[in-house]
Structure 1
Amino acid sequence: MPEPATRPRGGARLSRPLGTFASLSPLLRLLVLTQLAFNIGFFAVLPFLAEHLGTAIGMAGWLVGLVLGLRTFSQQGLFVVGGALTDRYGVRPVVLAGCVLRIAGFGWLGYARATWSVVAAVLLIGFAAALFSPAVESEVARQAVCREEAGEGPRTHVLALFTVAGQAGAFVGPLIGALLLAVDFRAVCLAGAGVFVLVLAGHARLLPQHIPGRARVRARGGLRRLVRHRGFLALCCAYGAYLLAYNQLYQLMPVEVERAAGSQAPLAWLFALSSLLVVTAQLPLTRWAGDRLDLRRSMVAGLLTISAGCAVVAAARPAGWTGTAGLLPVAGYVLLLTLGQMLVAPAARAWVPDLAEDGRLGLYTGALSSASGLIVLTGSATIGALLDTTLPPAVPWLVLAALPLTAAALLPCSSRARAGAKPRS
């Protein structure tokens, strides 16, 4: 097999996101831009959904929570379905079907007023992502491995760029939604649908009918072998522990910010800090890790960093600081969580092709999200229950710090591929 391409040094062109993007194949460029567009369209609507349901429609708080939970379940929980369909029917039909459902869901949500109608629209929106996201993610991972085997650079660089594109979309989407919200929520939904109309048209024209090297699997039985794959299940636990800690940006962190600052106004700045770090530092950090760490060590380093971020808040919480001093531990959590995320997310996605059965990459990619989503659902409920007890307020943060450590210990002892080198033939 050819040796990996030599990487330019000293601030060379390929160290920049645009240079890395330009070096990709046309199909990979399309898929990276797809992730950007998906997140722009989705996050133009999602941040404003809860307020719309509670204020404009008048839903009770518990019902708003139920609707949001159903959306998460219909998306994250059903990723494994979308992945299996991708293996059976190919990337193109699953992506196109998901785009059609997302357009219909956003359009429906913009006009929905009755509870049943809102629930149906939200379920449709979630299931749409359960179709197209595993299809795109699994093909990006497969193409990244093929690119690596051809000596065109480590797979983690491609997956890091994919993460950057998604984060950029998650940053731009709410800005667009906030502008359109001056009209009304329906305009926001229709704009989101419009983004997916463009994505649908672009993919109908540019996405190949058959992608070379991607075989379709007709035989059943892949799920049975998957649930017996200890190495893959350990990876799911590690990825789930990271996502549970990340989910505290929306669960524990607002509580801590409210306590320290007396309002939730600083949240916007903390979220901006996280997004800015990913967009600017993801690729340099991935390149640094690729020179020094294999996939397992990259995962372990990321999980330890995330654990440290949670421990910072746990250690500072008994002091009860308020004001700027009270916000510093939370800022430390955001910083360390984001750094850990930048190590864990590309490495986990890069590891899946080495663990998946031949022809089952879509199933394994979807199962990674579904299994970790179940961990987040269970863990978030547990964290919420701990908040309602009389235990010291540092306890939930200590639990969160312990989980990534445990997950890191469960990871397989070695990975077939280095974070910055091609896999063994």
Structure 2
Amino acid sequence: MKTNSSRFEISVLLGTQTLFNIGFYAVVPFLAVVLTQDFLLASTAVGLILGIRTFAQQGLFLAGGSLADRFGARFMILIGCAVRAAGFLMLAASLWSGSPMLWLFILGTLFTGFGGALFSPGLNILVAAAQSARDQQRTTEAKRATLFAWLSITGEIGAVTGPLVGAVLWGWGFSTVAGFGAAFFVAIGIFLALALRKPAPAGRQRRPAAHTSAAPRRPGSWRQCLKDRRFLAFCGLHAADLLAYNQLYLAIPLELERLDYPAQWLGMIFAWISVLTLTLQLPVSWIAARIGARATLRCGYLLSALGFGVFAFIPASLFGQDAGMPRILCAITLLTLGHMSVHPTALSLVPQFAGERPTGSYFGLLSSCGGLAVLLGNILIGWLLVQAGRQAVPSFLPWLVLILPLLLASWRAADVVRGLGTAIRRS
């Protein structure tokens, strides 16, 4: 009976990631279109607003994780759903009057980011607890893909489905699209309030306090997290992965533009990434479970570095006469394989870093460091790509700037993980 209950909860958590991404990607990909067409903003202003939205989410993950430690993961997931629903409702309301209200639209974009910062750490906490329980029940079985690998797959299903839903609703206007997103997140919140088990009383806890959403949380957990030098080092190294993967939204589109490919090719690239994720995430994770976290991190960061190395050091002539797209797809494939290797691995290591401490702040800090790296790194990368286009700097320099942090992570992250067990036993 207990096993069936835990299986149901795992199914709910994984399905929740799909639902979150359907609601998110049904709306957010159309924000740039609305800002350009309805609010008549220049591309620079559009990029600034969307960049602030991303940082509002990634930068507040530490706060969201700390709140989840204090008030419980389940509660913060429900609050996050409500905040994101309010954000989508603001987006819809900004176009209801005869004169579009930019301030309300911007506020709505910020609320969508705040909502994600509130519910994502909570979801990670519950998935980590479910993974720990599954590991304890199946210690004699062969190692297999972690729940975080399944989380990537279910999230990708939502990321593929969401834009299709948004495109179907687009004929009724963006207000309908955003209104659907608001109603969808309200429905998700109601579903989770009924489906997720309420926390048990503290006296009935059978698992360590650090790994349950219901356990009493010590205040100030984010301070403990920031004092953990080993984990800070890991966060700084792993930030290279999010910075690298974020180039799908910056460097790759600029490379397509440089090669005079139409914008529609970007859709094909993202479709290819979805195919890779849905078909290879589990095999990659099975291999990772067998070779261990240290080898997976080394290989994963190195694969991403090789992807950018295709742009930096491999002559285009090696890919044939029309080398542009085959070269880009080769680089994207390596980058995606690297991300599929290290991202679930890093998430699965967070509870080990936390030990007996609450995990929410740890998950939050990992994401916030990545968000800060993207915010600062994209400024430099964007400038270098523009200068490389004007031949003011060598063409390989922007890619080299992306390669070096990945090589450093490949070299040092495994050493941080190697001392992990000893550090936990001493804490």
Structure 2 length normalisation: TM-score? 0.87
Contact 1:244 1:376 survives alignment (8 Å): yes
The DSSP-based 3-state class of the residue aligned with 1:25 is: helix
Q: What aligned pairs does 1:277-292 form with structure 2 within 5 A after superposition?
A: 277-291=276-290
The DSSP-based 3-state class of the residue aligned with 1:210 is: coil
CA distance in 2, matches of 1:72, 1:209: 31
1:313 to 311, 314, 337: 311
1:146 to 111, 130, 133: 133
The DSSP-based 3-state class of the residue aligned with 2:248 is: coil
CA distance in 2, matches of 1:323, 1:383: 28
CA distance in 1, matches of 2:297, 2:55: 26
Q: Which amino acid is the alignment partner of residue 397 of structure 2?
A: V
- Identify if the C-alpha distance between structure 1 residues 181 and 320 changes in structure 2 by more than 3 Å, giving closer, same or farther: farther
CA distance in 1, matches of 2:91, 2:266: 27
Q: What aligned pairs does 1:268-417 form with structure 2 within 5 A after superposition?
A: 268-291=267-290, 293-316=291-314, 324-389=322-387, 390-413=392-415, 415=417
Q: Which amino acid is the alignment partner of residue 134 of structure 1?
A: P
Aligned match of 2:199? 210
Cα offset, 1:126, TM superposition: 0.8
Contact 1:103 1:196 survives alignment (8 Å): yes
Cα offset, 1:323, TM superposition: 7.4
Q: Are 2:149 and 1:160 equivalent residues in the alignment?
A: yes
Contact 1:383 1:396 survives alignment (8 Å): yes
Runs of 4+ in 1 over 4 A off after TM superposition: 152-156, 317-323
Structure 1 length normalisation: TM-score? 0.88
Cα offset, 1:394, TM superposition: 1.8
CA distance in 1, matches of 2:356, 2:130: 14
Contact 1:231 1:411 survives alignment (8 Å): no
Between 1:194-203 and 1:310-319, the stretch displaced more is 310-319
- CA deviations over 1:137-176 (Å, ceiling 9, x no partner): 1210121022112216657421110110111111110111
Aligned match of 1:74? 56
CA distance in 2, matches of 1:126, 1:398: 31
CA distance in 2, matches of 1:98, 1:40: 16
1:51 to 14, 21, 33: 33
Between 1:244-253 and 1:320-329, the stretch displaced more is 320-329
Q: Which amino acid is the alignment partner of residue 225 of structure 1?
A: Q
Percent identical pairs in the alignment equals 38
- Gapped runs of 5+ residues in structure 2? 95-99
Cα offset, 1:51, TM superposition: 0.9
- CA deviations over 1:192-236 (Å, ceiling 9, x no partner): 122212211111111122065425444334333322323212321
Q: Are 2:250 and 1:251 equivalent residues in the alignment?
A: yes
Q: What aligned pairs does 1:258-273 form with structure 2 within 5 A after superposition?
A: 258-273=257-272
CA distance in 2, matches of 1:23, 1:322: 55
The DSSP-based 3-state class of the residue aligned with 1:262 is: coil
Q: Which amino acid is the alignment partner of residue 103 of structure 2?
A: W
Q: Which amino acid is the alignment partner of residue 232 of structure 1?
A: F
CA distance in 2, matches of 1:304, 1:165: 26
Cα offset, 1:319, TM superposition: 6.4
Q: Which amino acid is the alignment partner of residue 307 of structure 1?
A: A
Contact 1:261 1:323 survives alignment (8 Å): no
- Identify if the C-alpha distance between structure 1 residues 298 and 412 changes in structure 2 by more than 3 Å, giving closer, same or farther: closer
CA distance in 2, matches of 1:47, 1:394: 30
Aligned match of 1:105? 87
- Identify if the C-alpha distance between structure 1 residues 208 and 400 changes in structure 2 by more than 3 Å, giving closer, same or farther: same
1:85 to 67, 87, 92: 67
Cα offset, 1:413, TM superposition: 2.0
- Identify if the C-alpha distance between structure 1 residues 201 and 408 changes in structure 2 by more than 3 Å, giving closer, same or farther: same
1:120 to 91, 107, 113: 107
Q: Which amino acid is the alignment partner of residue 163 of structure 2?
A: P
- CA deviations over 1:398-421 (Å, ceiling 9, x no partner): 221221001222215264799xxx
- Identify if the C-alpha distance between structure 1 residues 144 and 417 changes in structure 2 by more than 3 Å, giving closer, same or farther: farther
CA distance in 2, matches of 1:393, 1:380: 17
- Identify if the C-alpha distance between structure 1 residues 323 and 62 changes in structure 2 by more than 3 Å, giving closer, same or farther: farther
- Identify if the C-alpha distance between structure 1 residues 417 and 30 changes in structure 2 by more than 3 Å, giving closer, same or farther: farther
- CA deviations over 1:282-309 (Å, ceiling 9, x no partner): 1122112212x11121111100000000
The DSSP-based 3-state class of the residue aligned with 2:171 is: coil
Aligned match of 1:13? none
Aligned match of 2:97? none
CA distance in 1, matches of 2:334, 2:186: 37
